[in-house]
């Protein structure tokens, strides 16, 4: 990937950490000049990512994991995907960070400092699955525009914060509230201050779920800058675009929020099935809410080899949006027959679940594929092949598979 510097003068001091030392005299650097050491920033160092991660874009930064990197039960920062729509905020003043509630359905506009949020409301920690709505987009044909995500735009970290519902009750909302919409400090790629890169939200019922958080910690530490420091919304089980980063305002709406990337084909799929490539009118597109049932084999890495007669141990994760995964199966004969895996209960609602199996029924030497299939609590299973086409390539929950050679 050809890297480009996105660091401006105002951020030089903040990004001194990249060099592991202070940039002395940074205040005297001429406007627009970039020190040599920062002219080609390393995204892996800059964001603390494993160098095996895949950089899909640098403006905005979009980075995904490979399946085998997601083997941890709780996703560490180094393996968590980055999906941005705009430019990461610069010069964050955490001491003066605030969150304002406004909108047609708020009784009175109210602003909290970050310190007030942390001190006034009880803290909660949940493991919550976040998956980009476009995860798996690379398999759709005709291809959709946008980053061609494969399988690694999913994570399940420990998120700590205060419940949005507790704060909403403190703010006071009107009975006609139907939706919330977030606003944030990231900048539009055009640098036009009148444009927001993204401003999405969720129905008021989702906002009032126990697990919907205003989060300030990820895995016990301050949220990394690329993941929304110092404050982000977490709405687990829904497309991760609903979990806004760097949020500083939430509007309580008396209608479906109409912010940036809430309309047209953004994070929407056809309400009814359509043929691949077919144009769909905006009014026939429906907003994505709960993510579909899905699973991922994280061990072993695709391409593994075992000796004839040996047992292959596999493991991975499964999730089902607002639902729970009730059964997990694998197949080594391209889906002709399925065998049940061991499946663990989720740590809490909206966390992914871990599965494992010991496969000892390879009949002879040769090439095999191990397929994984999750079934949710309503009996809906993953499709073996690509699900329904849609203009933006969302919600590909086809079975994941790895290649195995028995020698």
pTM of the model: 0.90
Judge contact between 295 and 324, C-beta under 8 A: no
Tokens of 47: 């964001």
SS3 248: strand
- Pairing status of strand 285-287 against strand 268-270: antiparallel
Token pair for 386: 């690509």
Residue 20 tokens read as 């592991």
Strand partners, 201: 181
Going through 238-365 in order, the beta strands assigned E by DSSP cover 247-253, 268-270, 285-287, 294-299, 304-306, 312-319, 325-331, 339-340, 342-343, 353-359
Structure confidence at residue 18 (pLDDT) = 54
Instruction: Report the candidate in 182, 184, 156 with the shortest Cα–Cα distance to residue 167.
Output: 182
pLDDT for residue 335: 96
Distance, CA of 202 to CA of 247 (rounded, Å): 14
What's residue 29's pLDDT?
77
- Is residue 356 within 8 A of residue 370, CB to CB? The reply is no
Question: How is 155-176 classified by DSSP, letter by letter?
Answer: EEEEEEEEEHHHHHHHH-B-TT
Reading the block at residue 45, the tokens are 């160092």
Tell me the three state secondary structure of residue 188: coil
Please report the pLDDT score of residue 3 as a whole number: 40
Query: What integer pLDDT is reported at residue 6 of this predicted model?
Result: 43
Query: What residue ranges of the chain have pLDDT lower than 70?
Result: 1-21, 32-40
User: How many C-alpha atoms does 43 have within 13 Å on its Cβ side?
Assistant: 24
- Collect all residues with Cβ–Cβ distance below 8 Å to 89 and sequence separation of at least 6: 184, 185, 186, 187, 246
Residue-wise pLDDT for 320-361, tens only, equals 999 999 999 999 999 999 999 999 999 999 999 999 999 998
Summarize pLDDT for 188-202 with one digit per residue, the tens. Answer: 999 999 999 999 999
Q: How far apart are CA 254 and CA 186, in angstroms?
A: 25
Give which of 132, 108, 118, 63 is closest to 231, Cα–Cα: 118
pLDDT tens-digit readout, 226-272: 999 999 999 999 999 999 999 999 999 999 999 999 999 999 999 99
pLDDT value of position 25 = 79
């Amino acid at each position: 990937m050809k890297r480009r510097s996105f660091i401006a003068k105002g951020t030089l001091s903040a990004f001194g950490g990249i060099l592991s030392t202070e940039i002395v005299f940074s205040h005297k650097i001429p406007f627009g000049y970039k020190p040599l050491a920062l002219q080609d920033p390393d995204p892996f160092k800059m964001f603390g990512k494993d160098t095996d991660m895949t950089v899909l874009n640098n403006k905005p930064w979009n980075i995904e994991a490979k399946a085998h990197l997601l083997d941890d039960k709780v996703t560490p920062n180094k393996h968590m995907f980055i999906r941005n729509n705009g430019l990461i905020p610069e010069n964050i003043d955490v001491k003066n960070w605030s969150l304002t509630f406004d909108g047609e359905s708020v009784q009175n506009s109210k602003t909290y400092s970050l310190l007030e949020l942390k001190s006034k409301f009880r803290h909660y920690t949940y493991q919550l699955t976040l998956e980009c709505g476009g995860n798996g987009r690379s398999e759709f044909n005709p291809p959709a525009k946008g980053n061609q995500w494969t399988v690694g735009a999913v994570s399940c970290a420990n998120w700590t914060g205060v419940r949005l519902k507790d704060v909403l009750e403190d703010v006071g909302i009107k009975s006609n509230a139907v939706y919330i919409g977030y606003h944030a400090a990231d900048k539009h790629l055009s640098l036009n201050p009148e444009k927001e890169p993204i401003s999405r939200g969720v129905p008021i019922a989702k906002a009032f779920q126990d697990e919907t958080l205003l989060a300030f910690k990820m895995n016990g530490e301050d949220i990394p800058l690329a993941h929304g420091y110092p404050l982000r919304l977490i709405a687990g089980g829904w497309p991760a675009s609903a979990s806004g980063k760097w949020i500083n305002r939430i509007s309580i709406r008396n209608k479906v929020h109409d912010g940036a990337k809430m309309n047209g084909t953004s994070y929407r799929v056809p309400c009814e099935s359509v043929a691949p490539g077919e144009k769909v009118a905006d009014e026939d597109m429906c907003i994505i809410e709960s993510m579909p049932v899905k699973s991922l084999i994280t061990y072993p890495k695709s391409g593994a080899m075992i000796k004839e007669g040996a047992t292959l141990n596999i493991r991975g994760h499964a999730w089902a949006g607002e639902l729970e995964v009730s059964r997990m199966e694998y197949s080594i004969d391209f889906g002709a027959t399925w065998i049940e895996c061991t499946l663990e209960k989720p740590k809490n609602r909206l966390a992914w679940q871990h599965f494992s199996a010991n496969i000892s029924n390879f009949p002879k030497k040769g090439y095999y594929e191990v397929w994984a299939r999750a079934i949710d609590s309503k009996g809906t299973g993953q499709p073996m092949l690509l699900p329904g086409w849609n203009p933006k390539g969302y919600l590909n929950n086809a079975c994941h598979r790895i290649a195995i050679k028995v020698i």
